[in-house]
């Protein structure tokens, strides 16, 4: 899509909603989860929605000139690398506040992305996750995919579709619903084993493919 001022305002509203309820959409109120979500969002817009964000941040924190935007946000938030839960929440809130401020100042033009292109992107992420996501965990992968969805709306109806297959997860967002559906004896406590992480990741991609097939009549 090409974002004019009106469409950019709609995207900003989506992110504002996420900022108000990070636990629901990110699954975990951590800075890493929030960054993964935004990277997915940005990749879905051909890495152009947040183009210039790091440079914009550098005007607010000149000392962070050579850092990527997550490090610049942490510098502005003035939180340490090892963070308490309160510091994590502060870092997440600062990140979204800065992104929203940035979007307020920018008229974005992005390359259109069709549903078929999103599907191809998701297949590429599954095949080579390290090229897209930092950390091969379900949380990292699902927040990245959720960010793609927030930018494109391609997974609209996915949570409801999952609910029609199995109602055990109630009204949970799909990020939190999939583990409930996968682990029939209860979601294991964190940290998950590498095998459970991979099972959840595979289940997510398999269910998304099935959703696309059914929705698109494949």
Say what the pTM is.
0.57
pLDDT for 192? 92
- Rounded alpha-carbon distances, angstroms, from residue 79 to 69, 83, 85, 155: 15, 7, 11, 34
CA–CA separation, 66 and 102 (whole Å) = 19
Alpha-carbon 22 to chain mean position: 11
Of 97, 91, 203, residue with least CA distance to 141 = 203
**For residue 191, is the peptide bond before it cis, meaning its omega torsion is within 30 degrees of 0?**
yes
CB atoms within 10 A of CB 29: 17
For the chain, the first-to-last Cα distance in angstroms comes to 24
Report the range of poorest mean pLDDT among 18-22, 57-61, 107-111, 131-135.
Answer: 107-111
Residues 128-175 have pLDDT tens digits of 887 777 778 898 888 888 878 877 778 888 988 988 887 776 677 898
Token match 């992968």: residue? 141
For residue 110, pLDDT over 70 is answered with no
> Are 99 and 15 spatial neighbours (Cβ–Cβ below 8 Å)?
yes
CB atoms within 10 A of CB 191: 9
Higher pLDDT, 209 or 50: 209
């Amino acid at each position: 899509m090409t974002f004019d001022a009106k469409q950019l305002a709609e995207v900003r509203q989506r992110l504002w909603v996420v900022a108000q309820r990070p636990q629901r959409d990110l699954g975990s109120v951590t800075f890493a989860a929030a960054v993964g979500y935004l990277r997915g969002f940005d990749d879905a817009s051909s890495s152009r929605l947040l183009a210039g964000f790091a440079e914009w941040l550098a005007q607010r924190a000149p000392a962070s000139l050579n850092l990527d935007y997550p490090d610049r946000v942490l510098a502005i938030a003035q939180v340490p690398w090892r963070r308490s839960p309160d510091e994590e929440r502060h870092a997440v809130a600062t990140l979204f506040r800065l992104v929203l401020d940035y979007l307020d100042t920018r008229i974005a033009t992005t390359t259109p992305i069709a549903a078929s292109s999103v599907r191809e992107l998701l297949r590429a992420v599954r095949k080579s996750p390290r090229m897209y996501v930092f950390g091969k965990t379900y949380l990292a992968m699902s927040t990245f995919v959720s960010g793609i969805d927030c930018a494109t709306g391609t997974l609209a109806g996915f949570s409801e579709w999952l609910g029609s297959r199995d109602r055990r997860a109630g009204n949970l967002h799909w990020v939190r619903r999939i583990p409930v559906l996968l682990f029939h004896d209860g979601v294991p406590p964190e940290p998950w084993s590498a095998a459970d992480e991979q099972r959840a990741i595979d289940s997510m991609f398999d269910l998304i493919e099935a959703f696309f097939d059914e929705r698109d009549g494949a």
